Amino acid sequence: MKEWVDRHRHAVLYDEEGSTLLDVFSGKRIYLPWREIKAFEEKIHPETRDAYLVLLFEDGSQIALVDPGGVAFPSSDANTGPLKDLPPVVCLKDFHTLKQRVDHYLYAHRDEPPPKECVGLVMICVAILDGARLIGFDVADLEEALDRSLREIERRTS
């Protein structure tokens, strides 16, 4: 794993002393419990041909280290229910991209009601943050920002 991280330092950093991974894009860390890692394997994405590293845990869960995304993880629809456009694997960079779209609708077009698509984007953002929390990211600040956007959508559509 160290070799992969060393080759992709702009995406993920590993702190050996604290046993944490830093998702460079988001600046967020997760603890990496080495005793719970069953295996790791470098794979090649069939379409992009980019290399990524999958870490498999004893409980069957997994994360991937991807470039340029950072730490990738399963999204979670536990709080949203099934969502049509929810990718099965996401990263915090995906959250930020979608949140920027929501904010564009809300703040670049203040005189217009946000389109229905806005609520769908917020729901996908919720599923991304739920998945991030499940693997150990502290996303309270991102949830708070998303909640502000949701309140603005509700204010402008009611």
Please report the DSSP string for 69-108 in residue order. TEEEEE---TTT---TT--SEEEHHHHHHHHHHHHIIIII
Q: Is 65 in contact with 11 (CB distance < 8 Å)?
A: yes
**Fold exhibited by the domain 1-73:** PH-domain like (2.30.29)
> What token pair was written down for 67?
């470039």
Calculate ∠ Cα 12-13-16, nearest 5°.
140
Average pLDDT over residues 58-80: 94
Indicate left, alpha or beta for 81 from its phi (over 0: left) and psi (-120 to 50: alpha). Answer: left
Instruction: Enumerate the CATH 2.30.29 domain ranges in the chain, comma separated.
Output: 1-73
Query: 131: which 2 tokens?
Result: 């998945």
Residues 105-121: tens digit of each pLDDT: 999 988 888 998 999 99
Length of the chain: 158
Share above pLDDT 70 across residues of the chain, in percent, rounded to a whole number = 100
**What does the DSSP assignment read for 105-149?**
IIIISTTSPPPTHHHHHHHHHHHHHHHHHHHT---HHHHHHHHHH
Q: Which of 2-6, 101-105, 140-144, 149-153 is predicted with the least confidence, judged by mean pLDDT?
A: 2-6
